[in-house]
Amino acid sequence: MGLIAKIKGIEGYKKYLKTLVLSTALAFGMLYIAFGLMFFAKRGNPVPAHFILLIAAIFFVIFTVFYESKEREREKEKRKGKESYKPLLKGLFLAICATFAFIAIWSGVNLMIDYGFELIGGIEAFISALAICMIVSMVFLSLLKPS
């Protein structure tokens, strides 16, 4: 099967498919964040403050534990017993960003459910915006690849 796949030129199709799926998912995320910002401008905050605080706390715990585990792996033999505040600050920053993105995407989905495609001028405008977001997300993915 390996020889046939090489002949047909589809050996690397998984790489292309993975990149296409990731680019499309990022594009939908960017698009719904933009719609969420439109929702904030039209109606204000759709989520009560106590739910936003709960979401931020969950993200804070997740990201802080992630960075603490990375810090422990990296500095196991260097500083035994010393606590670092860097994982807390990194966790807080990412929690704020992730909370904003989550609430914006939630609001964007609500806006699309309420108004549909009439909000942005029809399905043609939605597809055009999605295409632009796919191009931008592919550029971001290309810039983030290690060289």
Cα 42 from Cα 94, distance rounded (Å): 27
Q: Give tens-digit pLDDT for 35-60.
A: 999 888 888 888 888 999 999 999 99
The model's pTM is 0.74
The confidence score (pLDDT) of residue 106 equals 92
User: Rounded to the nearest 5 degrees, what angle is found at the Cα of 138, between the Cα atoms of 145 and 58?
Assistant: 75
Inside any domain, residue 2: no
Closest residue by Cα to residue 71 from 52, 49, 44, 90? 90
123: domain range?
A: 19-142
* pLDDT band at 17; cut points 50, 70, 90: confident
The total number of structural domains in the chain stands at 1
Q: Give tens-digit pLDDT for 65-101.
A: 988 887 777 776 565 555 678 888 888 999 999 999 9
Inside any domain, residue 1: no
Inside any domain, residue 111: yes
Cα 7 from Cα 5, distance rounded (Å): 5
